A and B are shown apart, each in its own frame.
Chain A
Amino acid sequence: MISTLLDCLFQRSNVPSGAKVKQRLKLILAHDRAAIEPQVFENMRHEIMRVVSKYVELDENTLDIRLESDKRMTALIANLPIRMVREELPDLVSLFDEPTVEVVTSNSSESLALEMDKSAEEALDAIAAQETTKSTTEDVSSESLAVIAERTIEVTSKIRTAANKSQNEEISDRTVVETDIPQNENALLDTADNPQAATSEVILENSVNDQHEALEELNEPSSDQLELSLGLPDSLESQEVVVEAYPQLDNQEQEHDDRET
């Protein structure tokens, strides 16, 4: 009792909440029932004004377009004070070019909601599509590059052993396998002795280097997706070169060996 008394003494200025809650409810329900996003409503407002302004000059300061709901029915209320009627009326052709139909359909909140849903879906689809392409390019690139790298190593080692073999048979004290960078020089020197093996080796070295570069490129956190996918066909091409070159080389080596033996 005393607390009630104190409450009354110190909170005399308290405004009853009943009126406030009713006001808040009315506002929120008008919005709920219409189910129109503020941005969409703003667009609709602009479009209506644009169309009407073709014929009459509106007083922009006093015009009023809003949604009102009463007895479970939402209506678009527009009060557009006219300053004057335009003398030059727009020609019909340009009028039909404008999407005036949209304004009519925008009045129904359902079609608007549908439109919004559709655009949201489209946006989501686009995101999904983007994600799939991203993942596939990444998958392809990493996998194929691994395969390429493996194959090239295999190919080079085979060629080297083959070359080694042929060289060992000719000059036993030269070891080609260990010489990696000066290989080219050696190979060039060897050209006279073993032209086919040497040139092919040079090509392969280059392709391996290409792929290493491509791999490095992948490992870098590249911000541009386009760059990455552009880098791919190169390595794929080089892979093709290697694969095609390999059996040919092998045969030639074989022939070479055969000839020498």
Chain B
Amino acid sequence: MSRIIVVTSGKGGVGKTTSSANLGMALAKLGRKVVLVDADFGLRNLDLLLGLENRIVYTALEVIARECKLDQALVKDKRQPNLSLLAAPQTRNKTAITAAHMKALVEVLGRYFDYVLIDCPAGIESGFQNAIAGAKEAIVVTTPEISAVRDADRVVGLLEANRITDIKLILNRIRPTMVKNNDMMSVEDVLDILSVKLIGVIPDDEQVIVSTNKGEPLVLSDKQSLAGTAYENVAKRLEGKNIEFLQLEAPPKGFFARLSSWISGNS
């Protein structure tokens, strides 16, 4: 029984593609056969984050137009053979890709893979509708910012309207220091507002940008990073394991920080 999961957010730039890439890689590392489907037609980026941009010959468009076989369009990751990528076309051809096409495509992929992860484009227009067409579950990515949470709420409503009720939340870019100073919504605050089951809390981590530069997902790196560990935990939770959430704590204050907080009177 394969799982078809759409990774979506509504708002752009909150970490959908980063989450898709890391989650796909983490699941593959756990021995699952995973295919990542980039549904962001015209603005594909998943190939860059995976470092597979030079190996793409065919995309989902050619498969739908019957110009190539589905197998030809799947790019296998050499570092992790359990992981494949079906890239999105970069030139937005007028050959309209419909929700029915996408549904058929992911259903066929579901017969051969344990996980089909669909990287959804930002927004709630046709691209979103296409991306969620074949999905059975959803992972909503958001950050603790007002606009991202609002859009996430809207997306959750739309997913439910489209009969996708198995929805889980990844809260990305948490900054423990800011949360501690009550200058950022906490995990509890966001959960209280969205009322969606939490599956991961990813701390804001500079290593995310470093890994993007290299085209190497965090979970693949030898050097352990906090965000990488968090993504590995998400993968394990998806697999049904009960993993405790990382205790994200503000780093201990330095001398000047302690001095300034003593002066401002909030210890």
Indicate whether B70 reaches chain A with its CB closer than 8 angstroms.
Answer: no
One digit per residue, 1 when the CB lies within 8 angstroms of any chain A CB and 0 when it does not, for chain B 179-197 equals 1011111100100010100
Total contacting residues, chain A, CB less than 8 A: 22
Whether B183 and A16, one on each chain, are in contact in the complex, defined by CB atoms closer than 8 angstroms, is yes
In residues 5-37 of chain A, which contact B (Cβ within 8 Å)?
5, 7-9, 12, 16-19, 21-22, 24-26, 28-29, 32-33
**Given A16-B182, A22-B189, A29-B193, CB of A4 within 8 Å of CB of B149:** no
Measured CB to CB, the closest approach of chain B to A117, in angstroms, equals: 16
**Given A5-B259, A21-B185, A33-B153, CB of A12 within 8 Å of CB of B264:** yes
Indicate whether B238 reaches chain A with its CB closer than 8 angstroms.
Answer: no
Indicate whether A127 reaches chain B with its CB closer than 8 angstroms.
Answer: no
Indicate whether B49 reaches chain A with its CB closer than 8 angstroms.
Answer: no
Contacts of A1 in B (CB 8 A): 256
**How far apart are the CA atoms of A25 and B148 in the complex, in Å?**
10
Total contacting residues, chain B, CB less than 8 A: 26
Whether A8 and B183, one on each chain, are in contact in the complex, defined by CB atoms closer than 8 angstroms, is no
Measured CB to CB, the closest approach of chain A to B142, in angstroms, equals: 11
Indicate whether B136 reaches chain A with its CB closer than 8 angstroms.
Answer: no
Whether A32 and B154, one on each chain, are in contact in the complex, defined by CB atoms closer than 8 angstroms, is yes
In residues 165-189 of chain B, which contact A (Cβ within 8 Å)?
179, 181-186, 189
Indicate whether B260 reaches chain A with its CB closer than 8 angstroms.
Answer: yes
Indicate whether A72 reaches chain B with its CB closer than 8 angstroms.
Answer: yes
Of the residues A5, A17, A18, A29, contact of B186 by C-beta under 8 Å: A18
Indicate whether B157 reaches chain A with its CB closer than 8 angstroms.
Answer: yes
Whether B150 and A29, one on each chain, are in contact in the complex, defined by CB atoms closer than 8 angstroms, is yes
Of the residues B153, B181, B257, B265, contact of A29 by C-beta under 8 Å: B153
**How far apart are the CA atoms of A32 and B265 in the complex, in Å?**
39
Whether B185 and A8, one on each chain, are in contact in the complex, defined by CB atoms closer than 8 angstroms, is no
Indicate whether A71 reaches chain B with its CB closer than 8 angstroms.
Answer: yes
Indicate whether B30 reaches chain A with its CB closer than 8 angstroms.
Answer: no
One digit per residue, 1 when the CB lies within 8 angstroms of any chain B CB and 0 when it does not, for chain A 65-81 equals 00000011000000000
**Given A1-B256, A26-B193, A71-B195, CB of A9 within 8 Å of CB of B182:** no
**How far apart are the CA atoms of A28 and B189 in the complex, in Å?**
15
Closest residue of chain A to B181 (Cβ to Cβ) is A16
A22-B193, A25-B185, A32-B154 known; 10 other A-B pairs, CB under 8 Å? A8-B260, A12-B264, A16-B182, A17-B184, A18-B182, A18-B183, A18-B189, A19-B182, A24-B146, A33-B153
Binding site for A on B (CB under 8 A): 146, 149-150, 153-154, 156-157, 160, 179, 181-186, 189, 193, 195, 256-257, 259-261, 263-265
- 10 contacting pairs across A/B (C-beta < 8 A): A16-B181, A16-B183, A17-B182, A17-B183, A22-B193, A28-B146, A28-B150, A29-B153, A33-B153, A72-B160
